[in-house]
Chain A
Amino acid sequence: MHLRFIAVLIVLLLAAVACAEEGGGGEGAAECPPDDEFGCVTVAEGEPIRLATLLVISTADAPLGQDSQNGVTLAVNDHGEVLGHEVELMHEDEQCSAEGGTTGARRIAAEEGIVAVIGTSCSSAGEPASQILSEQGIVLMSPSNTAPSLTDPETRQDFYFRTAHNDNIQGAAMAQFAAEELGVERAATIHDGSPYAEQLQQVFAETFQSEYGGEITTQEAVGPEDTDFRPVLTSIAAGDPEFIYYPIFIAAGGHITAQARETSGLEEADLAGADGMFSPDFIEAAGPQNAEGMYLSGPDLDFRGDFYRDEFLPAYEEEFGSQPTAAFHAHAYDATQMILTAIEEAALQGDDGSLVIPRTALRDALEGMQHDGIVGQLECDENGDCNQEATISVSQVQDGDFSRVWP
């Protein structure tokens, strides 16, 4: 009785499988290459291609992620349909933390049919997110992660790419600016324990010492949610630095900027930060009088062509009702365009209007892809760095606004 029931079940199952195979082969949907380790995403006719963003859209760092998310939306609008399919976006929040990155990446990995992800904003979220998504064979392309470890051959995850510069470039640029332009010989650094800040200040410190013969007086660390930085600034003042570099985020960076001006021994020191604070919100958080004269490094916004000035910015303002609030909207735009182009290259079209997108093939299409983007000529190397020619510029806060001073 029992055995007979199971036997009938097996026969029925076999029949069902046979039917399915027959239907798949005959009706014209493309076949997923069997050697693709991570399988394929199948998009039926009339269904949208689904992408996700994983950016920081809450907490105090929201201006950074919201700005990139706007860039993604513009790119999807501009690109239009991909092989006859619309593109649909799902937005997740990475909260600029490892926990947020983990939760967001898990949620995306659990979702059916996400082809690729644009994110993360913060390197701290990028580390776990790239691991979780790479295990599922989902491409993750970041507009603003800059920590060197993410594309270091030893630690890079297979499906991770970025259009942001590598901080090996940014840290060295700031060291050069400090030593050659400002004539600094003694510098101190502060980081907040995030991979971004820790690695960036380390690159700065190493370059500053080895290339320019400078002295690093202190390398301190703070918590991202601290408010009282006077003790740590006093300990830095003990080393008598001429230059303090703290490439951290808006909240803590604002406090340090305000409190450094009141710490005896640091009144004359030059203050400098990096792209994590390159936002009008930082000037507001620090107080315009305190931020005055401070140096901030970031991606060079000047080399972009006419498209950026004449089409991108007006479209941005029209769509979102404000000026860009951070430095990475264009990187997000380019990343999205590259992913959409890679989908067009890698997808297999069926006769019935359906699409089959093999995950590994999509990754391979991105690797080595050349793209003439807003931020410059992009080409992804085997470690996932797509913006190797990035140039870094330094701006100074003058009269409550950023003005470019170098190079």
Chain B
Amino acid sequence: MATSSATTESAEPPASPPPGDAGGPQLGLADRIPLRRIIRWGLAVALVLGIASGAYQTLAAGVFSPAQWRDLVVFGIAQGSIYALIALGYTLVYGILFMINFAHGEVFMAGGFTAFFAARAMDQAGFLNQQPVLAVLILLAIAMAVSTTVAVTLERVAYRPLRNAPRLIPLITAIGASLFLQYSFRGLYGEDIHSYPRIDALTGTWTIAGIPILRTQAIVIVAALALMVGLYFFISRTTMGRSMRAVAEDREIASLMGIDVNRVIVTTFAIGGMLAGAAGILYALVFRQVHFLMGFLPGIKAFTAAVIGGIGSIIGAAVGGLLLGLLEAVAPFLLLSGAGIPAPNQLKDVIAFSILVIVLIMRPGGLFGSREPEKL
């Protein structure tokens, strides 16, 4: 690290010649490419060394048993699948409209929060524990319906009128929409934290392949995988999926080819909303708390996941989400606890966002990004 930063300081001035210098640009460009490569390689080596030494120290100290490492991995995957489902909503919309729908976290909250009242009513009637499978399916249907409605309304009211406006304007509108939704739901449902009723059939663990997994987490992982596989087939095999890919590639040409662009965009928002609604219920199964601000942090994390995976790429969003969840759960303990850092868990957000920075330095387009990212 020390050497690479020293290189930066000493080599930077010749790399950026004053504008208008005729001989400068060619020479500057030639200088710059190796320098960038040196920095990247230096960073990569430092990272690998840091990770290896941290991990070695922790494992050598033997703080955690193998069973506990396994638990951490399972927790990470469960959290990651929820991130992945939300991240898909970001990435779908970005792929088609090149806009970041910052209100997507609130779409997630709307479904999970609304279904809470149904869950409470079903719990009081005793239905929740008599027919847990049916009850969870009903909750999923409610949450997905609410989130889809919110997402589609959002597109119609807030984004469609701005479709041809400069890029920055829908982005700012999205932030406004996010705040509007948060405080509308605060007005509707109040500012208390509510706790989802417990479903007896889903408490305890299942032993899958010799590994005890919390039932809620097993359901979350399986449901998220099923939804992502379903989405993959929808995009790659159906006519609508083909239209979506066409619009993503070039909206105007697609419309010349007879594709109803509006319908495609609405469908995209609807699918994103459905996935977010499902994520809302899965989140509620695992964490059991709902609150009007519950969408904010998962939304930011899912956006990070989408960027890590390569925003616009569906596989990228899924992999980015899983990776982020996994690293958040495991990395603080694996890398930091052996080095004697007190309370390593506090640094998990630092690790999550450092990963984002590192990925953007190493691969600016994200892990699965095909396009060079455009400036927002």
A222-251 CB contact bits vs B (8 Å, 1 = yes)? 110101101110110110000000000011
Asked whether, in the complex, the Cβ of A287 is within 8 Å of the Cβ of B195, the reply is yes
Contact at A60–B191, with CB atoms within 8 Å? yes
B194: Cβ under 8 A from any A Cβ: yes
Q: Does B288 contact A (CB under 8 A)?
A: yes
Closest Cβ–Cβ distance, residue B332 to chain A (whole Å): 7
Check A250 against B345 for contact (C-beta < 8 Å).
no
Residue A262, interface by CB 8 Å:
yes
Residues of A within 8 A of B298 (CB): 227
Q: Could you tell me the distance between the alpha carbons of A83 and B289 in the complex, rounded to whole angstroms?
A: 50
Choose the segment among B20-28, B64-72, B125-133, B173-181 that binds chain A (4+ C-beta atoms closer than 8 Å): B64-72
A235 to chain B, nearest CB (A): 6
Question: Given A60-B191, A255-B287: A193 and B63 within 8 A (CB)?
Answer: no
Q: Which residues in A have their C-beta under 8 angstroms from that of B68?
A: 234-235, 237-238, 265
Assess A281 versus B332: contact at CB under 8 Å? Given A227-B297, A234-B75, A287-B198: no
| A258 contacts B by Cβ under 8 Å | yes
The docked-state distance in angstroms from the alpha carbon of A230 to that of B78 is 11
Docked CA distance A227–B284 (Å): 11
Residue of A nearest to B292 (CB): A60
Given contacts A221-B343, A232-B345, contact A250 B71 (CB under 8 A): no
Instruction: Report the Cα distance A255→B297, complex, angstroms.
Output: 15
Say whether A231 contacts B76, CB under 8 Å: yes
B72-96 CB mask vs A (1 if < 8 Å, else 0) is 1001100100000000000000000
Does the CB pair B288–A287 fall under 8 Å? Answer: yes
- The smallest beta-carbon distance between B208 and chain A, in angstroms, is 15
Per-position 1/0 for A260-286, Cβ under 8 A of B = 001111000000000000000100111
Which interface residue of B203, B288, B297 has the most chain A CB atoms within 10 A?
A: B288
Q: How far is the CB of B74 from chain A (nearest CB, A)?
A: 9
- Give the total of A residues in contact with B, Cβ under 8 Å: 37
Residues B75 and A235 in contact, CB atoms below 8 Å apart: no
Q: A250-B193, A264-B71, A289-B198 are in contact. Are A227 and B346 (CB under 8 A)?
A: no
Interfacial residues of chain B within 192-227, with CB under 8 A of chain A in the complex: 192-198, 203, 212, 214
Query: Shortest beta-carbon distance, A145 to chain B, in Å?
Result: 23
Q: Is A58 an interface residue (CB 8 A)?
A: yes
**Pairwise interchain contact A225-B297, C-beta atoms closer than 8 A:** yes
Question: How far is it, in angstroms, between the C-alpha of A238 and the C-alpha of B65 when the chains are bound?
Answer: 7
Tell whether, in the assembled complex, residue A193 and residue B214 are in contact, meaning their CB atoms are under 8 Å apart: no
Knowing A193-B346, A219-B342, A219-B343, the reply to whether A227 touches B289 (Cβ < 8 A) is yes
Whether A238 lies near B343 (C-beta < 8 A) is no
Whether A254 pairs with B346 at a CB distance below 8 angstroms is: no
What residues on B are CB-neighbors of A251 within 8 Å?
193, 289, 291
What is the 8 Å Cβ interface bit string for chain B, positions 288-311, against chain A (1 contact, 0 not)?
A: 110100100110000000000000
Complex CA distance for A254 and B192, rounded to whole angstroms: 12
Give Cα A60–Cα B289 distance, bound, in whole angstroms. Answer: 12
- Which residue of chain B is the closest to A220 with respect to CB atoms? B343
Q: Are B288 and A223 neighbours in the complex by a CB distance under 8 Å?
A: no
Distance to closest chain A CB from B331 (angstroms)? 10
Best-buried of A59, A223, A250 by chain B (most CB within 10 Å): A223
Considering only residues 185-243 of chain A, those with a C-beta below 8 Å from chain B are: 193, 219-223, 225, 227-228, 230-232, 234-235, 237-238
Residue of A60, A234, A264 touching B212 (CB-CB under 8 A): A264
Q: Closest approach, in angstroms, between the C-beta of A9 and any C-beta of chain B? A: 51
A231 touches B332 (CB 8 A): yes
B191 touches A62 (CB 8 A): yes
Q: How far is the CA of A151 from the CA of B345 in the complex (A)?
A: 30
Q: Once bound together, how far apart are the Cα atoms of A128 and B174, in whole Å?
A: 34
- Provide the residues of chain A in CB contact with B346, threshold 8 Å: 193, 220-223
Check: B146 CB closer than 8 A to any chain A CB.
no
Given A238-B68, A289-B198, do A228 and B75 touch, yes or no (CB 8 Å)? yes
Chain B stretch 230-272: residues in CB contact (< 8 A) with chain A: none
Do B193 and A285 touch across chains, with their CB atoms under 8 A apart?
A: yes
A63 to chain B, nearest CB (A): 8
Shortest beta-carbon distance from B19 to chain A in Å: 41
* B329 interfacial by beta-carbon distance below 8 Å: yes
B114 at the interface (CB under 8 A from A): no
Chain A nearest CB, measured from B265 CB (Å): 32
Task: With a 10 A CB-CB cut-off, give which of B72, B194, B212, B289 has the most chain A CB atoms.
Answer: B289
> How far, in angstroms, from A281 to B289 measured CA to CA in the complex?
12
How far, in whole Å, are A72 and B89 apart by their CA atoms in the complex?
A: 48
Given contacts A60-B193, A258-B288, contact A235 B337 (CB under 8 A): yes
Contact across chains for A230 and B75 when beta carbons are under 8 A apart: yes
Q: Which of A365-399 contact B (CB under 8 A)?
A: none
**A221 and B345 contact, CB distance less than 8 A:** yes
A193 to chain B, nearest CB (A): 7
Q: Closest B residue to A251 by CB, please name it.
A: B193
A237 to B68, CA, bound (A): 9
Q: Decide: B289 and A58 in contact? CB cutoff 8 A.
A: no
Pair B349/A58 contact, Cβ less than 8 Å? no
Cα distance A193–B350 in the bound complex, in angstroms: 15
Q: Is the CB of B329 within 8 A of A231?
A: yes
B333 at the interface (CB under 8 A from A): yes
Measured in the bound complex, the distance between the Cα atoms of B75 and A264 in whole Å is 12
**In the bound complex, CA of A238 to CA of B71 (Å):** 12
- The 4 A-B residue pairs with the shortest CB-CB distance in the complex, in nearest-first order: A221-B343, A221-B346, A232-B345, A285-B193
Q: 20 extra interchain contacts, Cβ-Cβ under 8 A, other than A222-B345, A238-B65, A238-B68?
A: A58-B191, A62-B191, A219-B342, A220-B343, A228-B287, A230-B71, A231-B332, A231-B348, A234-B64, A250-B193, A251-B193, A251-B289, A251-B291, A258-B287, A258-B289, A284-B192, A287-B195, A287-B196, A287-B288, A290-B198
**13 chain-A/chain-B pairs, Cβ below 8 angstroms:** A58-B191, A228-B79, A228-B287, A231-B75, A231-B328, A251-B291, A254-B193, A258-B288, A284-B193, A284-B194, A285-B289, A287-B195, A289-B198
